[in-house]
Structure 1
Amino acid sequence: MTAVRSAILYAISIVFLVITGYPFVYMVATSLKTQPEFFEHPVSLLSKFNFENYALVFKLGIDKYFLNSIVVSIICVTAIILLSAMISFPLVRMRFKLNRPIFYLFLAGMMIPVHTTLIPIYMLTKQIGLYDSMWALVGPYIAFSLPISVIILTQFIQDIPRELDEAAVMDGASHSRLFWSIVFPLLSPALATIAIYNFIHIWNEFVFGLVLITTPAKMTLPLGLRSFYGEFSVNVPGIMATLTLGSLPLMIAYFLAQEKVVSGLSAGAVKG
C-alpha cells in the first residue's frame, strides 16, 4: 500500500512538474526560433538554436530597461525590508494603546485594490515633481508592499521567545540594540520570503510604470517589451528572448535564498 501511494505521489509530482515547467521550456525554445520558424511551428519545442533574438534585445536597448528594473527593485526591496521590520517589532514587543489599531490599519491596507489609487497617485506625483522619474514608482511600490510584509513579520516575531529580549535587557541592551543585534538577524527567513515575494511583484509590475513613466530611457523592463510590437505584427521570439533574460534575476535571487524562503514559509506551520 505504501509503495502504491508513493508511486501515485511521484506521478502527481511529475505531472505538476511538467505543467509548471513547460511554459518556461516553451519560452526558451521560442526565443531560439526565427519569426518564420515560429509561425510555421508555433508550439514545437525544437529549434535551430538561433541566437539572433538575444542580439536584437541588446540592439533595441533593452539592457537599459533591465538596469532600470534592477535599480527600482533593489531600492524598493531594501526599503520594504527595513521599514516592515522596524514597524513589526514595536507592534509585537511593545505595549501601547495604538499598537492594535495600527496593526489593523495595515491589515485593512491589504483590502484596498491597488489600481483604484492610480489616478490619485498620478496627480500626487505631478504635484510634487516626481512624475516621469523612477522615484515615482518607488513610493507606490513600497506603500503597497508594506501591509503583507508587516503581517508576515509580526507573525514571525511572535514565535521568537521573549526570554531573549529579557536576557538582552538585563545585560543593558537598549530597544534599538535589542532589535538590530538580536531580533533582526533571527528574522532572516521571513525577510528572505518577503524580499523574494516583493521582488517578483515589483520586477513584473506594468500598470504604474505605464502611467507614471513616459521617457523611454527611464522605463522598466515590462514597458520595454513594447519595443517588439510593430504596427501590424509582433516579434514573439524577440519577446520570449527578453522574458528569458528578464527571468534570470528572479531565478538567481530565489536559488540564493531558497533555504531561508522555505523555512520562512513553513515557520509557524508546525506547532509543539
Structure 2
Amino acid sequence: MSIDTRPAAPQRTSSVPRRMRSVPRPRRGTGNPVAGIGSLIWLVIVLVPLYTLLSSSLMHQDEALNGDPLAFPTDPTLDNYTTVLDSGFLSLLGNTAVVAVATVVLVLVLSVPVAYVAVRTRSRLSSLAFRTFLLGVAIPAQAVIVPLYLLIGKMGLYDSLWAIILPTAAFAMPVAVLVLSGTMRDVSEEMYEAMALDGASPLRMLWQLAVPLSKGGISTVAIFSALQAWNGFLFPLILTQSEENRVLTLGLFTFMTQFGVNIPAVLAAIVLSVVPIFAVYLVARRALVDGLMGVGGK
C-alpha cells in the first residue's frame, strides 16, 4: 500500500480583491414626470368643478348670475340648503335610500347562488346558461323601456318604488354575476374537496366557504348596485308619476322648474344628494378595487 506524498493542489482564489468586488445595489425607482404632470392636470380637472359646485351653492342668486363662478362667495350663506330641505328633499332622500337598499339585497340574494352554480357546475348547459345570462351586459335599458313599461303596468306596479327596484336590480345582475364568478373561481379546489369529504352539502359549501372567501367581490357588487340605484334616472322618469314616489335624480330634475333660475338652490340640492353616496364610497373604496381586480379569476 503506497502513500501519496504529493502536496495538495492550491485552491483557486479570485484574482479580484475582495474590497474591489462590486456589490449589486438596488436600483432606485425613477420618476415619470409625464405621468405626474398628467395626474396633476386630471386632478385640477376634477377639483375645479367640485369647487365651483360648493362655492356657488353658498352664493346669493345675484352673485351666482353676475359674479365669477371661480371666486369664493363674498357673503357665504346656507339659505340655499335651507330652501332645499324645506322643499321635500328628505322625502326624496328616503325614497332613494329604500330603492338602493332593496336593490342591493335583491342583487346579492340572486346573483351569489347563480355565480356559485356557474363556477361549480362543469356541464355545457351551465356554461351556455351563464353566457346567455351575461348577454344582459350588452342590452341597454333604453332598448327595452317600452316592453318594460307594459310589463310593469300588467303587474300592477306602475307608480311605485317596486317599479324602480325590480328593473334596476335586473340590469345590475349581469355585472354582479360576472364579478362574483371571477371571485369564486379564486377559491381553492382543495377546500371544496375537503368539505365534500366531510359530508358538506353544496348549500353548506356556499355559505361556509364560498361566501366568506368572496367578501371582496360581494362588497364590489353591493357598491355597484347601490350606485346604479342611486344614480338611476330613466326608470324613475318612465315608471313613476306621483310626487311621493320620486327619488333624488328625478327630484333634482324637477327642482329646475320649481326654483326657476335659482342656480344656488339647485347646486345645493346636488351637493346634498352627492354626500351620502360619496361617504359610502370613501368607506368601501378598498373593497371595490380589490373586488374588481378579481373579476378575471385565475
Name the TM-score, length of structure 2 as normaliser. Answer: 0.84
Give the whole-Å Cα distance in 2 for the aligned partners of 1:43 and 1:270: 47
1:178 match: 205
**1:6-61 deviation digits (Å, cap 9, x = unpaired):** 44433332222221222222211111112111101252241132111110111111
1:24 aligns with 2:28: no
Amino acid at match of 1:25: Y
Q: Which one of the candidate residues 80, 84, 99 is aligned to 1:72? A: 99
CA pair 232-134 structure 1, distance change in 2 beyond 3 A: closer
Amino acid at match of 2:167: P
Q: Pick from 104, 113, 116: which aligns with 2:140?
A: 113
Instruction: Report the equivalent of 1:131.
Output: 158
State the distance in 2 between where 1:119 and 1:270 align: 37
Q: Any residues of structure 2 matched to 1:85-100 within 5 Å, and which?
A: 85-100=112-127
Residue in structure 2 matching 1:237, options 264, 272, 293: 264
Per the normalisation by structure 1, the TM-score is: 0.92
Q: Using a 3 Å threshold, how does the CA distance of structure 1 residues 3 and 155 change in structure 2: closer, same or farther?
A: closer
Say whether 1:33 aligns with 2:45. no
Evaluate the alpha carbon distance shift between residue 36 and residue 202 of structure 1 in structure 2; reply closer, same or farther with a 3 A threshold. same
Cα separation, partners in 2 of 1:62 and 1:260, compared to 1, 3 Å: same
Report what 1:189 is aligned to: 216
Aligned length: 271
Distance in 1 separating the partners of 2:111 and 2:163? 20
The answer to whether the aligner puts 1:58 opposite 2:89 as a matched pair is: no
Q: What are the residue-to-residue correspondences of 1:198-209 with 2, within 5 Å?
A: 198-209=225-236
Q: Is the 8 A contact 1:60 1:227 kept in 2?
A: no
Q: How does 1:137-148 map to 2 (within 5 A)?
A: 137-148=164-175
Mapped contact 2:183–2:295 kept (Cα < 8 A): yes
CA distance in 2, matches of 1:20, 1:203: 21
Counterparts of 2:65 and 2:294 in 1: how far apart (Å)?
48
Identity of aligned residues (%): 31
Note closer, same or farther for the CA distance 1:14–1:169 as it changes in structure 2 (3 Å cut): same
**2:160 touches 2:245 (CA, 8 Å); kept in 1?**
yes
2:278 to 232, 251, 255: 251
Letter in 2 for 1:76: T
In 1, Cα distance between equivalents of 2:135 and 2:296: 24
Task: Establish whether residue 159 from structure 1 lines up as the match of residue 163 from structure 2.
Answer: no
1:264 and 1:34, CA in 2 relative to 1: closer, same or farther beyond 3 A? same
CA contact (8 A) 2:181 2:295 kept: no
d(CA) in 2 for partners of 1:265, 1:79: 20
Offset at 1:230?
A: 3.1
Equivalent residue of 2:261, what SS? coil
- CA drift at 1:265: 2.0
Aligned: 1:82 with 2:109: yes
Unmatched runs of 5 consecutive residues or more in structure 2: 1-26
Task: Tell me if structure 2 keeps the 8 A contact 1:228–1:235.
Answer: no
Distance 2:28 2:297 in 1: 24
Partner of residue 288 from structure 2, selected from 258, 261, 271: 261
Per-residue deviation at 1:232? 9.5
CA contact (8 A) 1:221 1:246 kept: yes
The gaps in structure 1 that reach 5 residues or longer are: none
- Residue pair 2:103, 2:165 contacting (<8 A) in 1 also: yes
Report which stretch shifted further, 35-44 or 226-235. Answer: 226-235
Alpha-carbon spacing, 1:114–1:14, altered in 2? closer, same or farther (3 Å): same
Relative to total residues, which structure has the larger helix share, 1 or 2? 1
Supply the RMSD in Å over aligned alpha carbons: 2.1
